[in-house]
Amino acid sequence: MSKRPDGAVLVVIPTYNERDNVAEILRRLLDAVPAAHALVVDDASPDGTGELADALAAEDERVHVLHRAGKTGLGAAYVAGFDWALEREYTAIIEMDADGSHAPEDLPRLIGMLGPNGTGADVVLGSRYVTGGRTVNWPWYRALLSRGANVYSKLALGVSINDITSGFRVYRSEVLRTLRLHDVASQGYCFQVDLAWRAVEAGYVVVEAPITFVEREHGASKMDAEVVREALVRVTKWGLRRRGNQAVGLARSLLR
């Protein structure tokens, strides 16, 4: 197994047609956390994002690029990036969007919350929906959809997380090493719900930290009707399974 380069923190940044954003987000990231490394996971972007990322990597040894053959979903891109990170033994692995919605300047605070010297957290979620968190420049329907999805997931899954769909998060590598990533079938933004719920179910400490989420200035959102449909179907199925398991457990305790 190959060892990681210098630096124990890796930020995984999936890209598809993010040429207008990737250079700036990498600059801000490496200014905010100079010891971190960044991995751009590009899904064969037709706008040349991958080629630009290669040029940036040639100029800075902290930048790495993983090219994939095509666009097969956010979840698959993250799993590929996580595999790359775990093979190189990074100790903290971060998810972050390339479009500027997530402020790299928040990362020192989020990373500092990992245990044992921080709050003892295993996973830190950058949250829009805790005290101090907010969104900027979102159209009302996006805000309503996001709020609704988070409330529904929280109730269906019985978790205390307010922003379980957040794509800005920090993991201790042990969490990703033990969650059986290749069993995660979710491909859209439901991937975020899936991993956070698995972490809670496995007994890991998941905490939320307030962030300001800013709507992208360049490019188009990857959110579409199919992403929403997948999330609704999967969360409903998980919630029903959870309720069923609770009912079985209750019945067994009554029969003892």
pLDDT digits (tens, 9 = 90+) for 106-131: 999 999 999 766 668 999 999 999 99
| Range list of H helices, the chain | 19-32, 49-59, 74-87, 107-111, 140-157, 173-178, 190-201, 225-255
Percentage of residues in the chain having pLDDT higher than 90: 62
Q: Give 59's contacts (C-beta < 8 A, 6+ positions apart).
A: none
How far apart are the C-alpha atoms of 27 and 172, rounded to whole Å? Answer: 24
Neighbour-count burial of 214, counting CB atoms closer than 10 A to its CB (0-12 exposed, 13-18 middle, 19+ buried) = middle
pLDDT: is 247 or 191 the higher one? 191
- Report, at the CATH architecture level, how domain 9-251 is classified: Alpha-Beta Complex (3.90)
pLDDT: is 137 or 227 the higher one? 137
pLDDT digits (tens, 9 = 90+) for 72-86: 888 899 999 999 999
Q: Rounded to 5 degrees, what are φ and ψ at 66?
A: -120, 115
